[in-house]
A and B are shown apart, each in its own frame.
Chain A
């Protein structure tokens, strides 16, 4: 379940977005599932509704979730062929930065590959 880490340097809305995406990837949330309303989510997390609403709006813009007026917010069907090139490029840039940092800390390429597999396994492993 989504949770907020108060000591993280990430803004709360980003943490919430990431948390929901994570839940979708490991199968806790599936396409068509209804998400708690802004109000319910705010109450669950004891968080400002404006922050929740910001996260939802951004997720909607990224086509992760969809809001049906008067009904609620749902997880969107993931189209496996659809790729958002702009977002992908952004992630790639972040990845590059990570590699630079890792190199600076003398992390070898093999180690990095190992991490990649580990993270992948964690995501898949939890869904079974």
Chain B
């Protein structure tokens, strides 16, 4: 990074922290600290929701995902708008009416304390782990950028977030989220513009789209019904809807965002805005990855994008093998680049026979190219068993660092930091709120002063921040980050959603039946994860159906026994 980049990065980070501290001032009671006195307008809540959901992982890993796997990941978000509508009709008015701090408070009113505690614990475990990943992503950026140990960078990032969340509470979180989201989208728009600008002069925008389509990257919609296929329209609409229902309806990190809305109307508008904007936004981020892919069809990319791992393998026991693969990779790149130019020439001349020939040649070359990359990736753990073999997270960052102009690099890094801070702060705030309201205030100290609860809330936020930093040390070994976060969520969200559906719609089901049903649902999901090849989006559907089915069944048994 050049001097100008450092100035842009440091100024933006300083501004975010100061802005958070300034906006969060005046939170002198627990309602102000945890719910911003329910005073937020819909546009602040809407962008806070989107900023919390779109972490740094979204901006570092998603373009890399598109580079490697095409646009099909966008289908994952198809269920989200449907979920937003359902939640606006059901959960939003209910939570507002009950005046709860957390979604889990409602479960004790509806069922009993043990069901509330079980759901709270599921949330604390899953979100606590995810908070670690959210801190890990920007730490990875810093680590690559500065060439320092990732443990040190995760401590620095986590520390900054802890500073303004413990000081200003959810008010600081929401206001900084709003500001951070604007920085993020500005940065990503510039990244796309630069990626297009850097394409060779003779390559038009439609040529770029055509190349990406031929190479299989414009696969945004896949209608095949295949349960082992991670992303198709069915897993996206059905599985994605269940995941979004669970995430926005039962995960306190999102529920807390819209509980800060000043009325049901403000909260609903915020969720509906998310329903309108989320799918195009994800498409846009994936599209940046596809354009980076096209760029690297004309400029030689490294065989391994992660510079630290590349260096390790180049100087390790498998160096000679790696050098051979690099040579093969270079030759294949040259052949591919030539074939693409010939394909585009044929396309401009409308020569359909040559177009078909070149498409087939490109398809075969890409297969060979991918095979060489896979061999090189496999060398990493063989060379050093602690290596991170997943290269997806480094693709976009390599492009940013190597090819973007001074100042813009700093802005993109600032936006990755902003994204991480917005998600982490939302998560810490939610984890602290749940720990205080559902555990501490309920079971440890029921009657205490506002000052006491406020102090404990701040301590809890700091605790969860430190926990997140500690977990971040291990997140690097979990493959593509964006997938890892969602897979982790899917292990628990189906069960949580099932409990809430029982609470909302099944009046006969009582506490014990719901509790046993939840344990059964979680056991089935963990079984599917461990012993089947089912795509992970379906875990949400299965978990939810098992909980609801078991809950209803058990309530009938209980009724028969009573009779």
A interacts with B:
no
Enumerate chain A interface residues (CB-CB to B < 8 A): none
Enumerate chain B interface residues (CB-CB to A < 8 A): none
